[in-house]
Structure 1
Amino acid sequence: MLSTPDTNKIYDYVLKFYSIRPRSKKELLDWFKRKNVEQETQETITQKLEHLNLINDEEFARWWVEQRTNYRHSGFRLIKMELRQKGVSDEIISGIESRVSSISELESARKIVEKKLKTFILSEVEGPNPRNTLTGLLARRGFSWETIKTVVDEVFKKE
């Protein structure tokens, strides 16, 4: 197990840190750095967490994609950027990307546009073009150009 009282105390803090939500290995290492944890203690705790399968970047990436697509309705470009910032390898990201369907991305984009359309009448949108408003909204959320074009065209064909 863990040897010193300090290590046990830090381990308890790490478990509390992980109880909030899953974390990537980089997030854990960044946390150690912020808390000025000694290298030996970091290695001991990291090994223990890996043994318990609490540090698993692939599982973390799957969870992150699920959260972002189901609750935030983010496009995969934005999700990929977030995963890279969290230290997930490109290999894991590309494996996850192949599982994310373009249909779910289209559905997420449609939900965002539907919500936005409730807040304004298309003829009264500020700015020169309501298409630009919706296009910018979806682009900032990380959707691909193909998805943006499809959804925006659907909205303006309904009129």
Structure 2
Amino acid sequence: MGLVTGLEMNTGKNMARLFIDGSHALTLSVEVILENKIKDGMEISQKRIEALKEDEEAHICKKSAYRLLAFRARSEKELRDRLVSKGFSPKAVDKTVDHLKASGLIDDREFGRQWAENRLSFKPQSAYLTRRELKAKGLSEEAIEEAVKDYDDYENALSAARAKAVRSIGLDYIAFKRRVGSFLQRRGFGYEIIKPVIDELWKELTEYKNSRENLQ
């Protein structure tokens, strides 16, 4: 059992040097000092010292997580992987993730919903491709299916390919089919969607070209 013989505060850095039996033992954040009610003259065991080290690591881990989340939303798996890659222990990562989940800052269902909506708004693609992306980010099957429940692959494919179709207005049908079809394949759509979408877009382009010719 040791004795706390000093707390040397550095308020500018929000840190404190903890002295035990006259020797510098630990440097801790002020938050950890206050949370653990560390004071001059109190007795402190080696077990308590080890617990303080764990609390300090968890505190630093939490601050790192906040910075990552301020940059962009992340799934639980993404955040865990990044924190582990920064060298934090599994215990510190678990404590951090539990805290963030409890405060609503990590929510895989909400993350999946936002990811799916973002794809529809800025890069329309198939439900299959969105499912694959969300699975890679560690979402559960239930969360993934909830995220893509409103997907309509036919409408999404039309939306995705219209700009490509307009830029292909001078092509014959074979070249048009090849260009638009390849584009839709890269967006994750299958043949059963690609074929009717190509036919619909070709019909729209043909009607547009005919209407222009009639005006001349």
8 Å contact 1:69–1:75 — kept in the other structure? no
8 Å contact 2:77–2:137 — kept in the other structure? yes
Show the counterpart of 1:132: 178
Show the counterpart of 1:44: 95
Q: 2: CA distance between counterparts of 1:101 and 1:87?
A: 20
- Where does structure 1 lack aligned partners over 5 or more consecutive residues? none
Deviations 1:61-109 (A, max 9, x none): 1111011111111221111110010001112222333x2141xx43432
Q: 1: CA distance between counterparts of 2:187 and 2:122?
A: 13
Greater per-residue strand proportion:
2
8 Å contact 1:25–1:87 — kept in the other structure? yes
> Would you say 1:60 and 2:111 are equivalent positions?
yes
Q: 2: CA distance between counterparts of 1:22 and 1:144?
A: 30
The structure whose Rg is larger is 2
Root-mean-square deviation over aligned CA pairs? 2.3
1:146–1:124 distance in 2 versus 1, CA, 3 Å: closer
* TM-score, structure 2 as length reference: 0.63
Name the amino acid aligned to 2:102. H
1:62–1:20 distance in 2 versus 1, CA, 3 Å: same
Q: 2: CA distance between counterparts of 1:95 and 1:75?
A: 15
Name the amino acid aligned to 1:82. E
Single out whichever of 37-46 and 138-147 deviates more from structure 2: 138-147
Show the counterpart of 2:150: 100
The total of aligned residue pairs comes to: 154
Show the counterpart of 1:119: 167
Q: 1: CA distance between counterparts of 2:89 and 2:107?
A: 22
Task: Give the alignment of 1:22-33 within 5 angstroms.
Answer: 22-33=73-84
8 Å contact 2:62–2:96 — kept in the other structure? yes
Identical residues among aligned pairs (%): 27
8 Å contact 1:77–1:144 — kept in the other structure? no
Q: 1: CA distance between counterparts of 2:77 and 2:146?
A: 19
Name the amino acid aligned to 2:157. A
Show the counterpart of 2:158: 110
Greater per-residue helix proportion:
1
- Where does structure 2 lack aligned partners over 5 or more consecutive residues? 1-30, 33-51, 207-216
8 Å contact 2:165–2:201 — kept in the other structure? no
